[in-house]
Amino acid sequence: MRGSLEEVVEKLRRSTVQVIVDQRGGGSGILWNADGIIVTNAHVIESVGSWDSLLVQFSNGLRVPATIERRDGNSDLAFIRVQSGAVPGGCGPAPLGDASRLRVGELVVAVGSPLGFTGAVSSGVVHRLSGKSNVSEGFHNQPWIISQLRLAPGNSGGPLANAEGQVVGVNTMVADGLAFSIPTHVVEQARRHSERVWTA
């Protein structure tokens, strides 16, 4: 099991980026598909003032510019894009899992850039699955995966994965010592229906 979990973590790291806003680490992101789409949280990029101020850093340290393609403030999700040819070899999208198949007590793994430490990993178990939130930060009507794992500033937008390495959620916030993640089916809905950001 140890070897397989290490392999899962390494693959997740190669699918995870650091989102850099105005030369500062803003949060994390997930390479979502081969077209260069990266999913992150809308609050991670809310301070972007110009297209030149947004970068992503891949697991090998390469930094490339990105543009905002879509955002959905209701779900706190954003979709940014890099040129597909800019994705370095060895990095690629992680397989997506079915969040509805998660069970309480199941092992989950998070990867991100907490406090600027790129590719940091934490693990824990699913605490509960919720149809809506009762926390004060908002997004009350949104489903959540709520886990007992340690997240810190910079983890926002990074992947939550099951033990097989399938991404089942996007890590978003911490409340009452628990990690809240947006399930992948909500991400897919937002990707199809969120507001498109038009650039010149």
- Residue of 28, 75, 133, 156 with catalytic role: 156
CA dist 163 to 40, 146, 151, 155, Å?
Answer: 21, 16, 18, 19
Structure tokens given for 63 = 């930094």
Whether 15 is catalytic is no
Distance CA 115, CA 134 (A): 27
- Residue of 59, 75, 76, 194 with catalytic role: 76
How many other C-beta atoms can be found within 10 angstroms of the C-beta atom of residue 61? 9
- Residue of 15, 28, 43, 122 with catalytic role: 43
Whether 43 is catalytic is yes
Residues of the chain by 3-state class (helix, strand, coil), percent to 5 = 20, 40, 40
Distance CA 187, CA 130 (A): 16
Whether 59 is catalytic is no
Looking at the annotation, which residues are catalytic?
A: 43, 76, 156
